[in-house]
Amino acid sequence: MFPPSKMTDTVSIFLFGHAFQVTREAGVVIRIDALEGNAPHDPELERAFRGWLEGDQTEAPPFPFELRGSPFQTRVLTTLLGTPKGALITYQGLAQELGSKRYTRAVARALATNPLPFLYPCHRVVKTGSLRSGYRFGVDLKLEIIQIEAQGQ
């Protein structure tokens, strides 16, 4: 007999006026991307995301998720969770929290490939001296989320 397969599904949610696709494996959120093509809308998951994003984000989201990445990426993203909602940190500052400002480029790469944006808030990381640094969903959305979080604090 074959071992049970982990069923993977993709659904869509709408946040900040944009459509995102959420990939789940056995019901556990493993990836969030910009929506490409069609995926069934999941209003229950969308409500859970919205409720958590509108809160203070000090508690875990009310749905299961799993971070998958290299050990370094996992360390970067879990360290990032120490940056509270409404606050910002520079790439270099985050690298220093990890042990050395020489890690700055590796930190930027780990954030650029973050499989769970919003849950691991890479939008809170900015370039020294500028809010207009890269974001996989576009700089305009990054600035919008920063502004929304700042107003909520």
Three-state secondary structure readout of the chain:
CCCCCCCEEEEEEEECCEEEEEEEECCEEEEEEECCCCCCECHHHHHHHHHHHHCCCCCCCCCCECCCCCHHHHHHHHHHCCCCCCCCEEHHHHHHHCCCHHHHHHHHHHHHCCCCCCCCCHHHEEECCECCCCCCCCHHHHHHHHHHHHHCC
Mark whether 16 is an active-site residue: no
Among 122, 125, 126, 141, the active-site one is: 122
Residues assigned a catalytic role:
122
